[in-house]
Structure 1
Amino acid sequence: MGLSDREIAALHGIAERGESLAAHEEFEVSPRDFEAVRPVREVTVGPLLLARHPLTVAQVRHWLPDYSDDYAEDDGVAARLEGELHDLLAALPFRLPTEAEWEYAARAGTTTLTHRGDRVPDEAELLERFVAEDRVAASENAFGLAAMGSLGELCADVYAPGYDGAPVDGTARTGPGRRVVRGGAADVSPWQGCNEWMLMLSAARGMHDTFAAVRPALALPAAREV
């Protein structure tokens, strides 16, 4: 878990080749960019179910009938929750994924910058801002999970800079503070020469600020030997 030396080298390669989407801005890679996702460590993740895509507006209304979303084009797109988050989490019969579970799911067996490889996502991929059931197939990873990284998704962990002292058993880091958000690169459209595509990296992480999407998780009991 975390951004490996090989992945950091891949980012340096993107910068040196000028492949960033910010064609009119210089894309630089500095050690400070990676402090929040280091050191790399081995984490054990238990069996779980994870929703194919974040909750849609219609699905949120199942638990919060009065919910509305000014950003939504229709009820089938992913809900971006703000003040309703507390009420939704209290009503859901599921839980948030831990940060380790989210990264495991986002990587889908890969060790590259994103599940698509060591490259900058193209325009079509980045414009997958909202997820609807009939518009997700192209964005699925090898685990069948849609749009991992394309929305800021709330995790169970409390944010702390770096992984020193973080759990290695796949559980959430607890304590005071704001939660971790994973992904969020496609929340800005049209793209205006920024490098927010880096939020699509499987290892990228940030601190919850305003709105967030919710992708429910459910732990499964470990298999027993017969």
Structure 2
Amino acid sequence: MWTEEIVSGLPAWRHTPSGVVFREVPGGTFRMGLSDGELEAVRAIERADGAEDDLEPFFAAAVQAQPVRDVLVEPFLIARHPLTVAQIRHWLPEFEDEFADEDSNTARLDGDLDALLEVLPFRLPSEAEWEYAARAGTSTLTFHGDGRPDEDQVLNDFADEMRVAAAQNAFGLAAMGSANEMCADVWIPHFVDAPGNARPRTGDGARVVRGGAGDLHPWQGCDEWLLLLSATRSEFADFTAVRPVASVPADHKRA
């Protein structure tokens, strides 16, 4: 089912039946959530842009990504980028995406989401796994640092391997934050009673989504870049992308 190979200079696992490329994310502990240092970095960006007051809604909502806490994450596999239209059709042959121009575009699912999750041989990432993967060992706004991310970080099409490779973080993952990606967790404000490990919080209600900057592209100057931040979180609404995760094959777990 799995084939080990090198993709853009980094080890990868390819799911042989579908061709989806996964990266192995090492385990570890990280600080999850939007820190005071990150909030100050956002304020510094807006002071430099001369439009600090425009971000008051963001700062008002930032408490939903706090308090910051230590989370232990076990090793796992995660797709290199969100599933594309072509990849979705491996499991749902009749799938159509009215937002996609090419089969190599990120697939946005609405009515087909439940059908996909029923047949997908993988699971959704927990919110903690998603943020840990997006940070890739960093504690800054994005894996690029505390600078203002720009539209070059938004990826929607994955046909151009050179562009995908250039957009990878240290874990070899591309487009973290671009699409509105669903997590396994039910939305809980302020991480109330969240566990100290990366297991998802389950129950009834809307799911957590991460990212979404590409879903508002081309940007209209309404601070859509904030959706690229590693810690930005929101409740699910409308359509979503899927970046599946899987367990590291038992025979190949690293010591």
TM-score computed with the length of structure 2 as normaliser: 0.81
Q: Gapped runs of 5+ residues in structure 2? A: 1-31
Of 57, 65, 79, the match for 2:93:
65
Measured in 1, the distance between the counterparts of 2:184 and 2:174 equals 20
Shift of 1:136: 1.2
The separation in 2 between residues aligned to 1:124 and 1:103, in whole angstroms, is: 20
Question: CA separation in 1, counterparts of 2:83 and 2:151?
Answer: 24
SS of structure 1 residue aligned to 2:46: helix
1:111 equivalent in structure 2: 139
- Is the 2:187–2:207 Cα contact (8 Å) retained in structure 1? yes
Contact 1:82 1:210 in 2 (8 A): yes
Cα root mean square deviation, aligned? 2.1
Residue 176 (structure 2) aligns with: 148
Of 190, 193, 201, 1:173 maps to: 201
Q: CA deviation at 1:166?
A: 0.9
User: Post-superposition shift, 1:130?
Assistant: 3.8
Give the drift of 1:72: 1.0
**Match status 1:129 vs 2:156:** yes
Bigger mean CA offset, 8-17 vs 207-216: 8-17
Alpha-carbon distance in 2 for matches of 1:57, 1:189: 18
Tell me which protein shows more strand as a share of its residues: 2
**How far is the alpha carbon of 1:223 from its aligned partner?**
5.4
- Equivalent residue for 1:13, pick from 44, 54, 57: 44
Per the TM alignment, residue 28 of structure 1 is displaced from its structure 2 partner at its CA by 3.9
Structure 2 contact 184–207 (Cα < 8 Å) conserved: yes
Q: TM-score, normalised by structure 1?
A: 0.91
Residue 163 (str. 1) matches residue 163 (str. 2): no
Superposition map of 1:1-226 within 5 A: 1-18=32-49, 26-28=54-56, 31-126=59-154, 128-132=155-159, 134=161, 135-220=163-248
Distance 2:194 2:63 in 1: 14
Which amino acid in the other structure matches residue 222 of structure 2?
C
Give the match's secondary structure for 1:172: coil
Which stretches in structure 1 are left out of the alignment for 5+ residues?
A: none
Tell me: higher relative CO, structure 1 or 2? Use CA pairs within 8 A at least 6 residues apart: 1
Using the alignment, how far apart are the partners of 1:179 and 1:158 within structure 2? 4
In percent, how many aligned pairs have the same letter?
A: 54
Q: Which amino acid aligns with 1:86?
A: D
d(CA) in 1 for partners of 2:198, 2:59: 26
